Structure 1
């Protein structure tokens, strides 16, 4: 009898562990990943404008109000930088944001994050990396990747393939395209569409996906603030597929 009892307990253990793990995921309104371009076309001054834009966004009372205004009253957010197909670096890990204190802490982490510049631009690499980051202790009703950049993909596998794989996982891909006034050192006339059209047609996707266009890095802060507020809204109102900030 004792042997059967022990055997039954052993067989039940994996199921118990699975149940415990599943219940350990912290509920949030949205799981949001910020994917930031640090390829060579983004010079140090422009990179600083990007980081400062994200930092200030998470200090904005309007954004904090949006975070606490959802059914759960919290979001999970992480931030990584990307460049070549194999270069992605997490600069702020997954963090639960549920008020001013945690939002300001996230902003502090962005301010302290290292600034590095790499070479190429792999949007597909950013998508692939982002898709693997979900399911790390949080469970949101929406999974959103916020991809910001100032150039078309020129490294890694085709963007269409990475995009299709991400969408198949239920991930929403939003974009923040920066129309840089200084051309990329790799810029060539390859018959590609303007960057805003490229992001609209080739990058974003999923239910309610949208693109914010910043007319230069000076407009980045206003653009990213608006973008995140819209992404974390408890009930995202139908809006323009493309919004522009000059």
Structure 2
């Protein structure tokens, strides 16, 4: 089964139809320590090795899921850490997980610009060769936006393009950060916030969220762990 890892993207390349385009946007701002950043990346790798996530990808369709990982901080600090990778089965999911495990931290410190992360993630969807039946940006973080454009304004621009923005909040420092994400960050049909109490819980929360995002599971199924977007 071919896997597409696109380190050197070029305009004008042939488009590839996929069931889902997914950006995983990882917080690398000042509030995130080296250990906390590592727990985020290890959590992503752990989730893609889980059989339930692999099963969700298989059930989602025959075309696969295209995934990229970005690291973000302030309005001028964003980077594609793992370029677009097509996952269709257990083997390709394991390959992606191995790449994530080997990916260093590129961004160290800076403010928190959630709007900048959404804008950058949206741009990556525009310039990659994949065309997803669904498009999702997954913003992970532990703090409120304190720099750059208001996230709700950028969110509204992205959702008009058919992009769903979900959140994964780490509530270790701000116990109400999930409510902030619900009001100002997430958007689009079925958007939701998944919460992790601490960074140690990040991997389990990521696994649950990926299963819902990839499989299209109704977010109301687990009201104790899911925050619905405001209607």
TM bin, normalised by shorter chain, reads 0.7 to 0.9
1:91 aligns with 2:72: no
| In structure 2, distance between residues paired with 1:217 and 1:39 | 15
Task: Give the aligned partner of residue 237 of structure 1.
Answer: 218
Query: Gaps (5+ residues) in structure 1?
Result: 1-20, 184-192
Task: Give the aligned partner of residue 146 of structure 1.
Answer: 138
Residue aligned with 2:81, SS: strand
Query: Gaps (5+ residues) in structure 2?
Result: 1-11, 227-231
List aligned pairs for 1:1-246, cutoff 5 A: 24-115=14-105, 116-135=107-126, 136-181=128-173, 194-233=176-215, 235-239=216-220, 244=225
Aligned residues between the structures: 213
TM-score (norm 1): 0.82
Q: Which has the larger radius of gyration?
A: 1
Residue aligned with 2:140, SS: strand
Q: Deviations over 1:177-214 (max 9, x none)?
A: 10124x7xxxxxxxxx9211100111111001010011
Q: Deviations over 1:125-174 (max 9, x none)?
A: 00100111114111111100000000000111111211111111111000
Residue aligned with 1:117, SS: coil
Q: Deviations over 1:217-236 (max 9, x none)?
A: 11111100100111000x43
Root-mean-square deviation over aligned CA pairs: 1.9
**Would the aligned equivalents of 1:211 and 1:242 in 2 still touch at CA under 8 Å?**
no
| In structure 2, distance between residues paired with 1:54 and 1:143 | 18
Check 1:161–1:74 CA distance in 2 against 1; reply closer, same or farther (3 A cut): same
The Cα shift of 1:241 comes to 8.2
TM-score (norm 2): 0.87
Q: Deviations over 1:57-78 (max 9, x none)?
A: 1111111111111222411000
| In structure 2, distance between residues paired with 1:198 and 1:172 | 17
